[in-house]
């Protein structure tokens, strides 16, 4: 099967869709394809994968060939060499145990050909005016910046490799790229990479203390008067300092990325979501969530180290958040993750306003579900005649539906709705104008799905209102047939490994292995 779309973002009338190592742009009004950007390493990966497939086919042919099979049964000196990727590595038990001469049959094993990591774009976002697109590729931890002409054409401007894999990314009010990574750190870097060479900050090699040390002419001790390993190391350091013309005060370059960046804040747990928000007074904040059930509200640059407050109430990981727009909803936040409820917050005061069950809605589609993993939340202002209606849209990992609620003035989520899908949603994005609203959904349609289902990975849905709930008006065709033929093949197992990562945030019982804990 072909690798599906896995990450979406929209701005105005343009839809950006990541499909593996490619970014495609589409027109939202009619679904027409506009342009494609491809990761520079994608062809290398495909070529290496093709070599592995050819080697596997050759090995299968050799195994079925009676001549080669008989030759494999002969002693090593008579064995026929078939292909360069085969090697004789087997030894029988007697040879392993006592180093005796090999006797009997020898086992032939395949030496695997190394395949580069698959390039996959996992994050997409744009600047407020849509003039730039920012993307993250997972395997190389790279942040890419593109110029966008407003009509779907992209021009690559820069690539910056982060020390850890980014888990969430936003472009700030002042055109700073704010990057949260899987190890709990949040960085800021300029949208446009400077053409000037970047000089990392330096630190003193002699001591991290700000207290000046009095220079000395010679060590007070000698190799005859020190005994412990620590004292001998200190003596050696003093001798090296004497040999240094700067008397030990030279600077040492700090290790890190070779581009301008600054550390803003950090969690002690994996970061899962990042938002930038303003309160009713125009003050700016960074809102972050993590695997340890926390939502933290920090001040914006240059006081990002100051914690404004917390929103505490989740019992499982927080996987997704959305901040509501509009003057009356300026301080509202909706969050979800591993809990069975969505939580509505006044994030400025850290106050929990209401809870609404999402598990109840999920059971309408999957009655056997006992737990859920919310992977994406959106707030959508639907243009109604009586005024814009605020709706919350959610998808859950592995559940073939979109779940919707309307937010009322009492700050509660009511009128739950379900839009069933022909596949499992991997991502979702929305776009609204003065007259209509759209949802774009990236789907994974498993191989064992109903044969009548058209295996289309990208759907654009025009919305309408039915009894106060969001509903499907029309599904716009996406011109994807030509693109589908050029996309890389992949297995069901690889798709689940690459894109089904939210449920893995759930903590395992004591002693259980947690996937991704050592991932860099």
CATH number (domain holding residue 454):
2.130.10.10
Residue 314 lies in a domain: yes
Domain tally, the chain: 1
Please calculate the CA angle 76-81-83 and round it to the nearest 5 degrees. Answer: 140
* Confidence category of residue 113, pLDDT binned at 50, 70, 90: very low
Sign of the CA dihedral with 496 first, then 500, 503, and 505 last: positive
Residue given tokens 């914690």 in the structure block: 307
Q: What is the pLDDT of residues 250-278, one digit of tens each?
A: 455 556 678 899 999 999 889 999 999 99
- CA distance readout (Å), 177 to 106, 143, 268: 58, 9, 22
Residue 212 lies in a domain: no
pTM: 0.77
Instruction: Please answer whether residues 20 and 6 qualify as being in contact, where contact means their C-beta atoms are separated by less than 8 angstroms.
Output: yes
* Confidence category of residue 389, pLDDT binned at 50, 70, 90: confident
The DSSP element (H or E) to which 365 belongs, if any, is: helix 359-365
Residue 277 lies in a domain: yes
* Confidence category of residue 61, pLDDT binned at 50, 70, 90: low
Residue 16 lies in a domain: yes
Residue 442 lies in a domain: yes
Residue 92 lies in a domain: no
> What's the mean pLDDT in 382-403?
91
Instruction: Please answer whether residues 289 and 345 qualify as being in contact, where contact means their C-beta atoms are separated by less than 8 angstroms.
Output: no
- CA distance readout (Å), 297 to 187, 216, 226, 395, 455: 16, 49, 53, 24, 41
Does residue 353 carry a pLDDT above 90? yes
CA 271 to the chain's CA centroid:
10
Residue 308 lies in a domain: yes
* Confidence category of residue 81, pLDDT binned at 50, 70, 90: very low
CA 459 to the chain's CA centroid:
22
- Round to whole Å and give the CA distance between 242 and 232: 16
Residue 13 lies in a domain: yes
Q: Judging by beta carbons within 10 Å of its beta carbon (0-12, 13-18, 19+), is residue 159 exposed, middle or buried?
A: middle
Range(s) of the domain holding residue 384: 7-46+117-193+259-505
- Round to whole Å and give the CA distance between 184 and 200: 22
- Round to whole Å and give the CA distance between 317 and 501: 13
Give the other-Cβ count within 10 Å of 374's Cβ: 28
- Round to whole Å and give the CA distance between 185 and 178: 10
């Amino acid at each position: 099967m072909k690798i599906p779309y896995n990450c979406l973002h929209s701005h105005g009338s343009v839809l950006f869709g990541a499909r593996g190592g490619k970014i495609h742009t589409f027109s939202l009004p009619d679904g027409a394809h506009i342009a494609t950007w491809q990761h520079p390493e994608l062809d290398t990966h495909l070529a290496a994968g093709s070599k592995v497939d050819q080697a596997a086919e050759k090995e299968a042919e050799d195994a079925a060939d009676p001549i080669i099979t008989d030759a494999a049964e002969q002693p090593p000196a008579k064995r026929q060499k078939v292909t360069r990727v085969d090697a004789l590595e087997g030894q029988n038990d007697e040879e392993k145990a006592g180093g005796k001469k090999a006797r009997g049959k020898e086992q032939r094993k395949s030496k695997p050909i190394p395949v580069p990591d698959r390039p996959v774009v996992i994050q997409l976002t744009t600047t407020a005016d849509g003039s730039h697109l920012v993307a993250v590729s997972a395997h190389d931890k790279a942040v890419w910046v593109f110029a966008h002409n407003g009509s779907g054409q992209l021009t690559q401007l820069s690539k910056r490799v982060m020390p850890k894999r980014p888990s969430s990314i936003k472009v700030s009010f002042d055109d700073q790229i704010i990057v949260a990574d899987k190890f709990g750190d949040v960085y800021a870097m300029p949208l446009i990479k400077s053409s000037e060479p970047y000089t990392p900050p330096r630190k003193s090699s002699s001591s991290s203390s700000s207290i000046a040390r009095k220079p000395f002419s010679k060590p007070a001790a000698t190799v005859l008067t020190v005994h412990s390993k620590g004292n001998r190391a200190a003596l050696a350091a003093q001798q090296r300092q004497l040999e240094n013309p700067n008397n030990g005060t030279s600077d040492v370059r700090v290790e890190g990325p070779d581009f301008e960046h600054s550390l803003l804040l950090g969690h002690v747990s994996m970061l899962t979501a990042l938002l930038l928000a303003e309160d009713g007074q125009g003050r700016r904040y960074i809102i972050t969530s993590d695997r340890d059930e926390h939502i933290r509200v920090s001040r914006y640059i240059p006081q990002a180290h100051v914690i404004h407050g917390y929103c505490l109430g989740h019992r499982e990981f927080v996987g997704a958040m959305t901040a509501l727009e509009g003057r009356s909803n300026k301080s509202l936040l909706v969050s979800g993750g591993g809990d069975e409820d969505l939580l509505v917050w006044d994030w400025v005061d850290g106050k929990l306003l209401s809870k609404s069950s999402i598990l109840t809605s999920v059971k309408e589609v999957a009655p056997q579900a006992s737990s859920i993993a919310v992977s994406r939340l959106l707030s959508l202002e639907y243009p109604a005649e009586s005024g814009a209606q605020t709706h919350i849209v959610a998808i859950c990992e592995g559940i073939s539906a979109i779940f919707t609620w309307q937010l009322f003035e009492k700050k509660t989520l009511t009128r739950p709705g379900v839009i069933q899908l022909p596949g499992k949603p991997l991502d979702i994005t929305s776009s609204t104008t003065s007259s209509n609203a759209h949802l774009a959904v990236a789907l994974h349609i498993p191989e064992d799905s109903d044969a009548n289902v058209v295996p289309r990975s990208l759907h654009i849905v025009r919305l309408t209102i039915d009894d106060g709930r969001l509903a499907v008006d029309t599904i716009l065709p996406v011109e994807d047939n030509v693109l589908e033929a050029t996309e890389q093949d992949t297995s069901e197992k690889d798709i689940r490994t690459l894109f089904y990562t939210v449920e893995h945030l759930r903590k395992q019982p004591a002693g259980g292995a947690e996937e991704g804990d050592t991932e860099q």
